[in-house]
Amino acid sequence: MERTFVMIKPDGVQRNLIGKIISRFEDKGYRIVAMKLMQVTRDLAERHYEEHRGKPFFESLIDYITSGPVVVMVLEGKDVVAGVRKMNGATNPAEAAPGTIRGDYALDIGRNVIHGADSVESAQREISIYFKEEELLNYEKVT
C-alpha cells in the first residue's frame, strides 16, 4: 500500500491545528502508520529540503522549519501521495482553494502550515530521513 510523509510545520503546531489536521486525514480514511512530535535540527532540515539549497528562500525555510516543534507522520492508503497533496492545497496559500488545509488555515507561502511529499520517491526518501524502520507500524484496521 502506498505511503507518504507529512509534516505539520511549527506554525501549525503553535496555532493548535494538530488535531484538526490529523482529523482530516483520519476522516479521509488514511491510516497513520507512524507519528511523532519533534524538534527538527538544522542538519535534518537541510537534508529534507536539499533540492531547494541555493534558492532565495532556502535560509528562511530552514529557519522556519527549525523554529519550534513539528509533527511528522507517515500515512498509508490508496494513492495517498497525490491525495494528501490535494488535501494540503497549493504551496502558496494565496492560491490554495478553500476546503484545503492551506486554503483554510494559511495566508503566507513562508508559513504554509503543512508539508506533504510530492512523489512516491520523495515520500520514501523523507520517511527514511525522519523515521527508523521499526517506527513504522503494520497493523490491521478492524473497523
Cα angle 111, 18, 8; round to 5? 45
Spatial CB neighbours of 10, under 8 Å, sequence gap ≥ 6? 64, 65, 67, 68, 69, 70
Interface residue with ligand CMP among 61, 62, 80, 113 (CB under 6 A) is 61
In this structure, what are the phi and psi dihedrals at residue 20, rounded to the nearest 5 degrees?
A: -60, -40
Interface residue with ligand CMP among 29, 37, 39, 57 (CB under 6 A) is 57
112 binds ligand CMP (CB under 6 A): yes
37 binds ligand CMP (CB under 6 A): no
Q: Which is nearer to ligand CMP, 91 or 128 (CB)?
A: 91
| 115 part of the active site | yes
95 binds ligand CMP (CB under 6 A): no
Amino acid letter, residue 78: K
Spatial CB neighbours of 131, under 8 Å, sequence gap ≥ 6? 34, 72, 74
List residues binding ligand CMP (CB under 6 A). Answer: 52, 57, 61, 91, 109-110, 112, 115
Catalytic residues: 115
Return binding residues for ATP: 9, 57, 85, 91, 102, 112
